[in-house]
């Protein structure tokens, strides 16, 4: 089975380094997932996210002339699917992002209103 750019492939984490992880693909080839391609969230220590032996799905980003395969786990996860550790991934569609923004905005407005009302109530009690 050959690996093509843009494909979603499955593999097993074989080695973890500070800058990324090596993944052994089903055809026996190895690919590298750079630390910036592990998660949509900032990853300061890759050991907190992945462990040797973890099964992952990754998108093939590139294959250079030497046969080195660049992979991305975060680009393989789309439309609110779950990642390899069954953690919910953030909203990915425009509708999802707008819905989340409106909900967060409403919550902030309510908190602000409560805060202002509590300060007004405190000043009235002193008088």
Eight-class DSSP state of 5: T
What proportion of the chain, given as a percentage, has pLDDT over 90? Answer: 41
The mean of the pLDDT values for the chain is 82
Tell me how many domains the chain contains: 2
Note down the domain range covering 23: 8-72
Judge whether 31 and 65 are in contact, CB under 8 Å.
no
Helix (H/G/I), strand (E/B), else coil: 31: strand
On whether both 16 and 59 belong to a single domain, the answer is yes
On whether both 16 and 60 belong to a single domain, the answer is yes
Domain membership flag for residue 46:
yes
On whether both 64 and 112 belong to a single domain, the answer is no
On whether both 103 and 64 belong to a single domain, the answer is no
pLDDT tens string 53-83: 999 999 999 999 998 999 999 998 763 344 4
Domain membership flag for residue 84:
no
In this predicted structure, what is the pLDDT of residue 100? 82
């Amino acid at each position: 089975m050959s690996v093509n750019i843009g494909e979603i492939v499955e593999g097993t984490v074989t080695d973890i380094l500070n800058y990324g992880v090596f993944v052994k693909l089903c055809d026996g080839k190895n690919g590298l997932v750079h630390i910036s391609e592990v998660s949509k969230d900032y990853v300061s220590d890759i050991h907190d996210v992945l462990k040797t032996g973890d099964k992952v799905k990754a998108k093939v980003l590139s294959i250079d002339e030497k046969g080195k395969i660049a992979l991305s786990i975060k680009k393989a996860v789309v439309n609110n699917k779950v990642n390899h550790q069954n953690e919910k991934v953030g909203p990915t569609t425009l509708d999802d992002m707008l819905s989340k923004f409106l909900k967060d905005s409403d919550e902030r407005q309510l908190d602000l209103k409560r805060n202002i009302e509590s300060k007004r109530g405190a000043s009235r009690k002193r008088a």
